[in-house]
């Protein structure tokens, strides 16, 4: 959220804040490459287009491309598609129909979650089968 707010901020010190934010997020991204490559990929994809220093944008684009071959990153990208699919299928009527048990939603979510055994997305996808 901070990055999104900084993108449009043009006030006093905005360039310095954007540069500092990009540096901090780049450091976090690098720390996640081994333990959470899907998170590193997400942040690299964000930072490559962020209004920060060019060397970070370039390094982020390179890292993003390198991580795309990681099986866990591939799983995360597919999980995000399944999350959207479940949302589009079962959560169009928010806080009315989705509060009730739905056997079809539960089965779809459980089936989809099994495709992501190596990443935390599996639990999230599975929970989308539960009533809100």
- The structural domains of the chain, with segments of one domain joined by +, span 2-67, 71-127
pLDDT at 1: 85
**Token pair belonging to 120:** 């935390």
CA 78-93-86 angle, to 5 degrees, is 15
| Token code pair at residue 4 | 């999104």
Give the pLDDT confidence score for residue 76 in this predicted structure: 97
The pLDDT value given to residue 48: 97
Given this model, what pLDDT does residue 129 score? Answer: 93
Structure tokens at 94: 């928010």
The whole-number pLDDT of residue 95 equals: 61
Which pLDDT band, with edges at 50, 70 and 90, does 92 fall under?
A: confident
Count Cβ neighbours within 10 Å for each residue of 5-14 and write b for 16 or more, e otherwise: ebeeeeeeee
67 versus 92: the higher-pLDDT residue is 67
CA distance 55 to 61: 10
pLDDT digits (tens, 9 = 90+) for 27-77: 999 999 999 999 999 999 999 999 989 999 999 999 999 999 999 999 999
pTM recorded for the entire structure? 0.85
Q: Which residue has 């989705």 as its token pair?
A: 98
**Residue 94 in this model has a pLDDT that exceeds 70:** no
- Polymer length in residues for the chain: 132
Residue 41 CA: distances (Å) to CA of 27, 48, 69, 109, 125: 13, 11, 10, 24, 19
pLDDT, residue 131, reads 83
pLDDT one-digit tens code per residue, 108-126 = 999 999 999 999 999 999 9
Cα–Cα distance, 108 to 103 (Å, whole number): 9
């Amino acid at each position: 959220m901070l990055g999104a707010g900084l993108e449009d901020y043009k006030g006093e010190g905005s360039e310095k804040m954007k540069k500092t934010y990009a540096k901090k997020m780049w450091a976090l991204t690098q720390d996640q490459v081994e333990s959470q490559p899907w998170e590193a990929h997400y942040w690299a994809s964000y930072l490559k287009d962020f209004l920060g220093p060019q060397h970070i944008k370039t390094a982020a684009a390179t890292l993003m491309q390198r991580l795309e071959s990681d099986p866990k990153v591939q799983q995360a990208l597919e999980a995000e598609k399944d999350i959207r699919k479940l949302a589009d299928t079962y959560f169009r009527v928010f806080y009315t129909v989705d509060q009730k048990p739905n056997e079809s939603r539960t089965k779809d979510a459980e089936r989809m979650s099994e495709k992501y055994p190596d990443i935390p997305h599996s639990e999230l996808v599975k929970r989308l089968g539960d009533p809100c």
